[in-house]
Amino acid sequence: PAQRERLGKLRELALAALAGAHAILPGAAVTVLALRPAGASNREILARLANAGYSAADGTAFGAPDVLRITISPETPAAIAQSLKGA
């Protein structure tokens, strides 16, 4: 229960960091964030996240080519926000 609560809070931090700039897709998972980035290509954003050491995947592999799937960890919200700047 404590880990689930902590992950929920981390997801909320990530959502707040991205609010307004990108379309966040609804979902029940607290460890994965799916979003449609505005501006920059998925490839460019994935490269930025990978260079920062974060786990993300292009949605093309699961039938959603305009979506990024990002795994949430304690460091992820800041990395996501930084990687999407200028998008």
Tens-place pLDDT, residues 1-48 = 576 677 677 777 777 777 777 777 766 555 777 888 887 788 888 888
For residues 32, 49, 44 and 27, what is the CA-based torsion angle, rounded to 10 degrees?
10
In the block, tokens 């607290």 appear at 30
pLDDT of 17 reads: 77
pTM higher than 0.75 for the full model? Answer: no
pLDDT of 26 reads: 67
Q: Is the pLDDT of residue 78 over 70?
A: no
Is residue 23 within 8 A of residue 31, CB to CB? The reply is no
